Structures are given as C-alpha cells and as structure tokens.
Amino acid sequence: MSTELLLGVIALCTSAIAGVIGFGGGMLLIAILPAFLSPSLVIPVHGITQIASNASRMAFSLSHVQWSLFPKFFVGSLLGILLFGYVLLSVPHDHVPVAIGAYILLNLWSPHFARSIRRFESYYLIGLLQTGLGLVVGATGPLSLSVLTKQLKSKDEIIATSSMFMTISHLAKIPVFAVITSALGANLSLIAYMVVGAILGSYLGSKLRMVASNDKLILAIKALLTLLALRMILMAAL
C-alpha cells in the first residue's frame, strides 16, 4: 500500500471516529502524521484534512446545525485571530492546556461552577478562545463541545454544531497555510487522498451515530472529554 493510500485510509478512520463522538479524530491524526510527513507539512496537511472532515460532518447533519450560534462564534473567531495572532505568539503558553483542561473538567462535572460560569459564557468568547488558541495550541475543539454538551440535548445537534464551529476555526488557519503554498503544491495527490478519506469517514461516522443511543453517546462524549482534559493537564505537568 502506498503512503498516500495509507494516509487516506487513516484519515477515513480518524474522521469516522469524530463523526460518531464529535471529536478525537483530529488529535489521533496529528499524532500519526509525523511518522509519515516532514515537520513542515504536518500542521498544514492536518489542517486541510480537518477542514474536509469537519465541513463534511456538518454537511451530513446540516438540519441539526444550530445556525443561530454562527454569528456569535464567527465574530469571536475573527477577534481571536487578531488578538492571539499578535499577542499570544510572543507570550509563553506552556500552561494554556492546563487552563483548558481545568475549564472542561469543572464545566462538565461541577454544577456550582457550571451555574457560576454561565453568566460569563458566550459564543463570542468561545469563538475567540477556540479559534485564537488554535493558532498556538492543539485540542481547542473541546472548549465549545463542553458548552454545547451542557446546553443542547440532542447528540446530533451537539456534534453538527461543534463541526460548524471547528470548520470556522480551521478555516481561520488558511493564511498560515498560504505561507507554505509551495510545499503543499508538491503534495496535492497526498492531500487529495486524505481529503477524500476524511469525507468518506464523516459519512460513515454520521451513519453510525444515527443508530447510537442519544443518552449513552452524550455520556460517552462527557467521559472522553474528561479523559482528554486529564491528559492535557498531565502532559503539561510532565
């Protein structure tokens, strides 16, 4: 099996995982890519694949997207690009994952914290943080997913809306990709395999999600978000 086809299959599998539970596929993919690609290609190829994965996952569940949240998240994302693009890149951010992990844990499992933070939570702020932090640290998608899980009751609404948010966040990285267009141009065949794999994976994951129990899947999302948050805190500590 050629490297291109193998990475296409890997993109399919990771996208299918995200299609079922709403996240996790991108983190698996970025952990695998360094074994196959040069460091300069890992982030842009991952980003383009994730745009295809999230956008197609949203498209396959379009009727469940909560479009009323789009303007707030989009405006917040634009502010996040400006703020973090000029400020955070010059500031140490080693402990940012700890803050994200702690926020996710408290938001999911502390009713007192969830009630207290609700007055400050807005999708303007979530967009600013998720997209802005996405320029400098990974695994920011769970920021919005933890809030959506708390506020929406349908697994399809949660995952479809989260996919819309993550599509916006990844599209915001296009200016970064443009800087290395020449490197991407030499790997268009590889990117095509991975984009097709990601779209097929989204379709498969969306079909599998439809037959899953709503309550059990939401509980699984919460459990996996908890494990992710604990991992983020542990990795930062180590």
Top pLDDT among 129 and 173 is at: 129
Using alpha carbons, list the distances in angstroms from residue 111 to 35, 105, 116, 216, 217: 42, 11, 8, 20, 20
pLDDT band at 147 (very low <50, low <70, confident <90, very high): confident
Task: Answer yes or no: is pLDDT of 218 > 60.
Answer: yes
Confidence at residue 15, expressed as pLDDT on a 0 to 100 scale:
94
- 140 residue type, one letter: T
Q: Find all residues with CB under 8 Å of 169, minimum gap 6, and list them.
A: 77, 130, 131, 134, 140, 141
pLDDT tens-digit readout, 13-34:
999 988 988 887 887 888 788 8
Top pLDDT among 147 and 164 is at: 164
Using alpha carbons, list the distances in angstroms from residue 110 to 19, 126, 150, 218: 27, 19, 11, 17
> Does the pTM of the predicted model rise above 0.75?
yes
User: What is the average pLDDT across 81-105?
Assistant: 72
Mean pLDDT of the chain: 83
